[in-house]
Structure 1
Amino acid sequence: MDAPDIHLLSAGTALPGAPVDNAALADRFGMDTLWEQWIDTFVGTRTRHLAVDLKTGEPNVRLTDLCEQAGSRALETAGLTAGDVDLVVLGTSTPDQLMPATVNMVAERLGIDAVATYQLQSGCTGAVQALNMARQLLMAGEHHTALVLGGDVCSKIFDVETDLSALSPEEMVNVALFGDGAGAAVLTTRPQDRSARLVRVLTRLVGLNREPGQVLEWFTKSDRNPDRAASREDYKAIEATVPVMAAEVLDELLDGLGWAADDLDFLLPPQLSGRMTELIVKRMDAPHPTEITCVAETGNTGNALPFLQLERLLPRMTTGDRAVAVAVESSKWIKAGFALERG
């Protein structure tokens, strides 16, 4: 029997609190207006949403809270309930805790039970990996409707009392780049009006013999090392490498589907930062599609970003439209993407 087509019914997202602009960020960390101008010029991210109180450093929400909100919105938009879901997959690099798995806490919040659940530990390609895993399981015929989640709360890694002026550039840049958020999508073998067919998903590790571009430590009370940064990023390596990898993903997706760049109606590029996204899109050289970008307003929310883009994309797609999304993870260099077509 032929494998069923997999359809994307809806997307939903959640962002914590009000947007935090660069002036507020600079003021909290005691940086001058030159740092604020540096963010505007070289990072290109204007605002982000944070799951911590900048004044106190106390968390306001957890990843479970954000995923619950996003999942609930996605199900509501699809016209489904928790009882319709028989598979849940979450991609994140910042789970709330090692155990219980965050995906199971989200399922409980949503009233989902007696189903298969999976949690993937990955950076910015984790959402695409989660989509791919759900797609493969749905195609195998054992499940019919999957809730796919992705999100990150990066702000919990940073100490709001940190003196940024004392940090190395690879540590300081993360404070400007990242925001917090979560997203969700509903995949099914049972299409609805205006659903989009998920025609291909690509994920590939290409990090053999390459130094990590980003490192995120997991410290415990017994191994906390104040001389080792909790988070660091080789921004120069990322700036040089990610646009090339993004163009490779786009070409591979198009070649595999027999599509030309001119066939694309929408492009969802990697969302590293406002400035980096501009460089990436230029390198991808797709002539006509409408670009779906949100990072300048949301910050880099990691595994939430593809869903933030999908939530903006789906209402705009009409019959015959084609869209390609690309994601790149710099931690150990993973390239990923997916293609959609509305019938």
Structure 2
Amino acid sequence: MKEVYINRISKYLPNHPISNDEMEGKLGIINGRASKGRRIVLRNNQIKTRYYAIDDHGNITHNNAQLTKEAIVGLCDDDFKAEDIELLSCGTSSPDQILPSHAAMVHGFLKNGNIEINSPSGACCSGMNALKYGYLAVKAGQTKNAVCTGSERTSSWMMADTFEEELQYLQTLEDNPILAFNKDFLRWMLSDGAGAFLLESEPKGHLPLKIEWMEGYSYAHEVEACMYAGGDKLEDGFLKPWSEYPSDQWSKKSLFAMKQDVKLLGENILVKGVDSLKMALDKNNLKPEDIDYYLPHISSYYFKESLYKEMIAQGVEIPWENWFMNLSKVGNVGAGSIYIMLEELVHSGKLKKGDKILLSVPESARFAYAYALLTVC
């Protein structure tokens, strides 16, 4: 088996940072009235700025595959060209279409010759699953290198016109229709962007990062769907897919919008997260005090204090001073968040040889968690 190193890291954040006061102007006002939930959600998540692939005139500037392609281009120079890529592994929660796959569309924009591609599906963990596929391929000697990415372009899913027909339909049923909170909630949480890693079997460049191990855990056998798109959840918890609804119901129910069961999120995301963290640390004989930098992808600062308390309760406390986050500046980029977070840490000048970095990524879709331990070389 080969060793595997992250030798290059790149990110791409479209256009310019969008402040909280600019958000509704970008995404649009639903049914002619400002969102009642916006200020509550923003106060809790404490996100100050985020990025949208939307220009100042409301035009879409990039799709998801184009954002990802730009992040990959950031990895390349005269010493490593796009044509040198042997494996392309791309994770996202928000592909531009059902088919072809996200990685196929990214490859189409790169136009860099015949290569292997991989497109893991899912939510935030899809970016880590993309990384694990590349990690295992390089480790096994199947490829000399792999480019792995995580990205999202959710802004277009959150535009006001996505929900207009549903609100018009509700108008026929009631006098004062409002968008359900499980849909409105995510409008003020998500951001656009992409990150990319170059994996190789030899360390190169300034402070390469060795991937020591990766672990993943799913709790879908215990908990029903919490965040979902392309379907609707029935009262008994069953997730009915869009393909089983008449086509005239697709827009009336906003079936393709992302939705979040906030109650289910609060009940499970932290408990299951720390439970899986304990399993990952125990399996790999790693103690919390061995971790120099803990990079948790969390959707909201609302969860930060509670996550820390849950760690203490379960005996895996990682001190505050070892946490590194950038949620307030870049927003929740889903599958791309951990890539963008690590890119900022690497370029911060804080790292030194021997530092241990723990990547921690949850997804609330049906509660799954992914972890990776890195060592600075």
TM-score (norm 2): 0.82
Residue 170 (structure 2) aligns with: none
| Aligned CA distance change for structure 1 residues 79 and 266 (closer, same or farther; 3 Å) | farther
Alignment of 1:146-185 (within 5 A): 146-161=146-161, 162=163, 166-185=178-197
**Alignment identity in percent?**
21
Displacement, 1:17?
Answer: 1.8
Displacement, 1:105?
Answer: 2.9
The answer on 1:226 being equivalent to 2:252 is yes
Give the distance between the partners of 2:99 and 2:36, measured in 1 at CA: 42
Residue 45 (structure 1) aligns with: 47
| Aligned CA distance change for structure 1 residues 252 and 86 (closer, same or farther; 3 Å) | same
| Aligned CA distance change for structure 1 residues 33 and 128 (closer, same or farther; 3 Å) | closer
Q: Which amino acid is the alignment partner of residue 184 of structure 1?
A: A
Residue 200 (structure 2) aligns with: 188
Q: Which amino acid is the alignment partner of residue 358 of structure 2?
A: V
Residue 341 (structure 1) aligns with: 375
Q: Which runs of 5+ in 2 are unaligned?
A: 168-176, 232-241, 312-316
CA deviation map 1:127-148 (0-9, x unaligned): 1111111111112211010000
Residue 211 (structure 2) aligns with: 198
Instruction: Report the secondary structure of 1:74's partner residue.
Output: coil
CA deviation map 1:217-249 (0-9, x unaligned): 176894624135422101222123222233233
Instruction: Report the secondary structure of 2:188's partner residue.
Output: helix
Instruction: Report the secondary structure of 1:172's partner residue.
Output: helix
Alignment of 1:1-343 (within 5 A): 3-26=1-24, 28-29=28-29, 35-53=37-55, 56=58, 58-76=59-77, 79-161=79-161, 162=163, 166-193=178-205, 194-217=207-230, 222=247, 224-229=250-255, 230-284=257-311, 285-287=317-319, 289-315=321-347, 316-343=350-377
Instruction: Report the secondary structure of 1:112's partner residue.
Output: coil
RMSD (Å) for aligned C-alpha atoms: 2.5
Instruction: Report the secondary structure of 1:75's partner residue.
Output: coil
Give the distance between the partners of 2:324 and 2:107, measured in 1 at CA: 29
Instruction: Report the secondary structure of 1:173's partner residue.
Output: helix
Give the distance between the partners of 1:116 and 1:277, measured in 2 at CA: 38
**For the Cα contact (< 8 Å) 1:253–1:338, is it kept in 2?**
no
Give the distance between the partners of 1:260 and 1:183, measured in 2 at CA: 29
| Aligned CA distance change for structure 1 residues 187 and 60 (closer, same or farther; 3 Å) | same
**For the Cα contact (< 8 Å) 2:88–2:118, is it kept in 1?**
yes
Give the distance between the partners of 2:91 and 2:295, measured in 1 at CA: 18
Q: Which runs of 5+ in 1 are unaligned?
A: none
Displacement, 1:281?
Answer: 4.1
| Aligned CA distance change for structure 1 residues 111 and 190 (closer, same or farther; 3 Å) | farther
Displacement, 1:37?
Answer: 3.5
Displacement, 1:36?
Answer: 4.9
Give the distance between the partners of 2:321 and 2:376, measured in 1 at CA: 15
Give the distance between the partners of 1:301 and 1:168, measured in 2 at CA: 23
Displacement, 1:209?
Answer: 4.1
Instruction: Report the secondary structure of 1:177's partner residue.
Output: coil
Instruction: Report the secondary structure of 2:74's partner residue.
Output: helix
Give the distance between the partners of 1:71 and 1:102, measured in 2 at CA: 14
**For the Cα contact (< 8 Å) 1:16–1:66, is it kept in 2?**
yes
| Aligned CA distance change for structure 1 residues 97 and 24 (closer, same or farther; 3 Å) | same
CA deviation map 1:280-333 (0-9, x unaligned): 344333026532211222221111101111101224321110010111111122
| Aligned CA distance change for structure 1 residues 202 and 95 (closer, same or farther; 3 Å) | same
Count of matched residue positions in the alignment of Structure 1 and Structure 2 = 339
Give the distance between the partners of 1:55 and 1:234, measured in 2 at CA: 33
* Bigger mean CA deviation after superposition, 166-175 or 312-321: 312-321
